[in-house]
């Protein structure tokens, strides 16, 4: 139970980082003034990878779309995190370099 609570808190922190908004620039729910349900999406689809650079806030509609456009979504959302949170991105670069060794 404790772990679940921690996860909830962590995901809330990610949503806060993302200003409690869907981060899809083409989101159809954006700017309509309606409250939308938000979810935290794993950018590389690895649910064990809870590093902040791998997590992004999406509305439920946009999260469902990621299932059908996997490569495209991964590319777009990685770019968004890279541009918005360069400090998070540094960790990803390091990890990738390690993988190449």
Regarding 22 and contact with Zn ion (CB under 5 A), the answer is: yes
Min CB(45)–Zn ion separation in Å: 18
- The alpha carbons of the chain give a radius of gyration, in whole angstroms, of 14
Binding mask 34-73 for Zn ion (x = CB under 5 A): -------------------------x--x-----------
Angle at 79 between CA 38 and CA 50, to 5 degrees: 55
Instruction: Compute the distance between CA of residue 64 and CA of residue 82 in angstroms, rounded to an integer.
Output: 22
Instruction: Compute the distance between CA of residue 67 and CA of residue 79 in angstroms, rounded to an integer.
Output: 18
Regarding 92 and contact with Zn ion (CB under 5 A), the answer is: no
Q: Which is nearer to Zn ion, 16 or 95 (CB)?
A: 16
Regarding 76 and contact with Zn ion (CB under 5 A), the answer is: no
List of residues 6+ apart from 37 with CB closer than 8 A: 59, 60
The residues of the shown chain that bind Zn ion, judged by CB under 5 A, are: 22, 24, 27, 29, 59, 62
């Amino acid at each position: 139970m404790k772990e679940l609570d921690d996860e909830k808190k962590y995901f809330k922190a990610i949503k806060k980082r993302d200003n409690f908004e869907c981060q899809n620039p083409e989101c159809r729910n954006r700017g309509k003034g309606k409250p939308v349900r938000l979810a935290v999406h794993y950018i590389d689809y690895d649910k064990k990878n809870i590093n902040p650079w791998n997590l992004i806030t999406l509305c439920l509609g946009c999260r469902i779309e990621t299932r059908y456009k996997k490569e495209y979504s991964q590319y777009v959302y990685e770019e968004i995190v890279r541009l918005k949170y360069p400090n998070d991105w540094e960790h990803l670069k390091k990890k990738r370099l390690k993988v190449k060794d």
